[in-house]
Amino acid sequence: MFRKLRIRFTLSTLLILVVFLSILSTAVYLGTKKLITSSSEGMLAGTADRIIRTEDDRNNNGNDLIIPDLFENKKVMDKFENLFAVNDPKLKVGYVMYDNMLDVVYIRNSADIPYDEFEKYVLDSFQDRNSLFSLEIIDDVEYRIYTKFFNTGTKAGVVQLYQDVSMETFILEHLKHSLLFLIIVSSFILAVISWHLAGKSIRPVMESWKRQKEFIADASHELRTPLTVIQTNLDAAMCDNSGTIAENRVWLDNAYSETEVMSKLVGELLMLAKIDSNQVTIGNGNVDLTDLCRRTVDKFAENFKMKDISVEMNLEEGIMISGDELKLTQMLSILTDNAIKYSESPGKYSIRLNSEKNKAILKISDEGVGISDEDLHRIFDRFYRADKARHREEGGTGLGLSIAKWIVENHGGKIKVDSTVDIGTTFTVELPIND
Ligand code: ADP
């Protein structure tokens, strides 16, 4: 599934980049073509004007016909040469001049260009009294032809200039192939880069998908255990057809206590599901943390008594933090409940709260079973229980600490644990306090 996603991601990125590159290359090609064409057309039009002016001069002053030499037009030729980086300046150009009877009066054709093939444009230009550019391919050679009607007052006719554009075509073809090659090579490089980037960007999605799958598998597993226990105990009670409720109390009690485990588990699962979908918001009221610690300890008075656990409280008065009272109470309850659950009787529980700089430091310690080094770094993971069988009997779901950690971190704080097996455990919570 992720491979398909990666391929799709790569292809769409590649498609966008290739389209963009193609548009850019087309723009470069068309821009260059336009520049070359307009420069070449400008040269032909300028030269045509010069020929006509010279012809006019000759008529007015009675001078001999001085036909300008296209190759003498140094400035234009230099520009042409520079533009194309052509080393050979001998561009094949020439012209024909026609009088008003459309008879040829002068031909300058140094390169044997078949000018008679272009006569059709002379008639068009003469009839319409205009000038026109055309392109013709004769014997596989392409020519640009400029045909211009002129009327100097004393004389009218048509001047036609022609130019072999093979060099132009060659340059444009070369440019086209280079751009095509560039697109192909870049597409290959971009495909590799896109594939790599696609892999990188879907990694978090993959991880979250994997976590989600593990979460569902763990949750179903955790829900199956109490359900099986309930079923077995109810089966035992139902088998006793003649027995009274009191006689089957033990089965019913077992089933009942499992429903409690299940309801705790479902509550925690719901909370985690909401956390994962960003549906849990943290309030930011003024919370008296000292008072909250005291109330939490009071709430567990009965549990301390039942397990013969002595309580030591050392709370600095009036520590105020901004946060969510309900969530902070939940975090304190998780830590206190664990301290009781994982203590042998008789035991000792201690809660200390003091402020340091702009932090509230809360320490909840017990002298219980402790946590081994290899379990220590995993106890904040979801569904992790150090001693699975035993801690499940205590009603543990393995979700409490991951919720407590989320609560602390979403109040801008930190939580850490120190523990020694058979000596005890201390959870330290640091929370930012109100100024
Ligand atoms: P649980 O519902 O199982 O207590 P938690 O997430 O609260 O889930 O705790 C995860 C595991 O960390 C527990 O199963 C237990 O093995 C260990 N643990 C937590 N608190 C203590 C403690 N105070 N003493 C010893 N072990 C603890």
Instruction: Classify residue 142: in a domain, yes or no.
Output: yes
Instruction: Classify residue 139: in a domain, yes or no.
Output: yes
On the question of pLDDT at 357 being above 50, the answer is yes
Q: How confident is the model at residue 367, as a pLDDT? A: 96
| Per-residue model confidence as pLDDT tens digits over 107-159 | 877 667 788 888 899 999 999 999 999 999 988 888 899 999 998 887 889 99
| Domain shared by 238 and 358, yes or no | no
With a 6 A CB cut-off, is 371 part of the ligand 1 pocket?
yes
With a 6 A CB cut-off, is 36 part of the ligand 1 pocket?
no
Instruction: Classify residue 79: in a domain, yes or no.
Output: no
| Per-residue model confidence as pLDDT tens digits over 179-224 | 999 999 999 999 999 999 999 988 888 888 888 888 888 888 888 9
Structure tokens at 393: 């009997």
43 vs 434: which has the higher pLDDT: 43
Burial class (CB in 10 A: 0-12, 13-18, 19+), 404: buried
Distance 417 CA to ligand 1 centre (A): 11
Backbone φ and ψ for 111, nearest 5 degrees, come out as -120, 20
Instruction: Classify residue 64: in a domain, yes or no.
Output: no
Instruction: Classify residue 344: in a domain, yes or no.
Output: yes
| Domain shared by 292 and 417, yes or no | yes
| Domain shared by 315 and 413, yes or no | yes
| Domain shared by 421 and 318, yes or no | yes
Instruction: Classify residue 39: in a domain, yes or no.
Output: no
| Domain shared by 261 and 320, yes or no | no
For the chain, how many structural domains are there in total? 3
Q: Is the pTM of this model over 0.85?
A: no
3-state secondary structure the chain: CHHHHHHHHHHHHHHHHHHHHHHHHHHHHHHHHHHHHHHHHHHHHHHHHHHHHHHHHHHHHCCCCCCCCHHHCHHHHHHHHHHHCCCCCCCCEEEEEEECCCCEEEEEECCCCCHHHHHHHHHHHHHHCCEEEEEEEECCEEEEEEEEEEECCCCEEEEEEEEECHHHHHHHHHHHHHHHHHHHHHHHHHHHHHHHHHHHHHHHHHHHHHHHHHHHHHHHHHHHHHHHHHHHHHHHHHHCCCCCCCCCHHHHHHHHHHHHHHHHHHHHHHHHHHHHCCCCCCCCEEEEHHHHHHHHHHHCHHHHHHCCEEEEEEECCCCEEEECHHHHHHHHHHHHHHHHHCCCCCEEEEEEEEEECCEEEEEEEECCCCCCHHHHCCCCCCCCCCCHHHHHHCCCCCCHHHHHHHHHHCCCCEEEEEEECCCEEEEEEEEECCC
* CATH at residue 306: 3.30.565.10
| Domain shared by 160 and 231, yes or no | no
| Domain shared by 208 and 107, yes or no | no
| Per-residue model confidence as pLDDT tens digits over 227-261 | 999 999 999 999 988 888 888 899 999 999 999 98
| Domain shared by 116 and 239, yes or no | no
Atom of ligand 1 nearest to the CA of 386: 16
| Domain shared by 330 and 397, yes or no | yes
Atom of ligand 1 nearest to the CA of 343: 24
| Domain shared by 231 and 266, yes or no | yes
* CATH at residue 265: 1.10.287.130
Q: State whether the Cα torsion 186-189-195-199 is positive or negative.
A: negative
Distance 335 CA to ligand 1 centre (A): 9
Distance 362 CA to ligand 1 centre (A): 18
| Domain shared by 330 and 393, yes or no | yes
| Domain shared by 298 and 343, yes or no | yes
Q: How confident is the model at residue 146, as a pLDDT? A: 93
* CATH at residue 118: 3.30.450.20
Distance 371 CA to ligand 1 centre (A): 8
Q: For residue 426, what are the domain limits? A: 285-432
Instruction: Classify residue 76: in a domain, yes or no.
Output: no
Cα–Cα distance, 380 to 129 (Å, whole number): 92
On the question of pLDDT at 93 being above 80, the answer is no
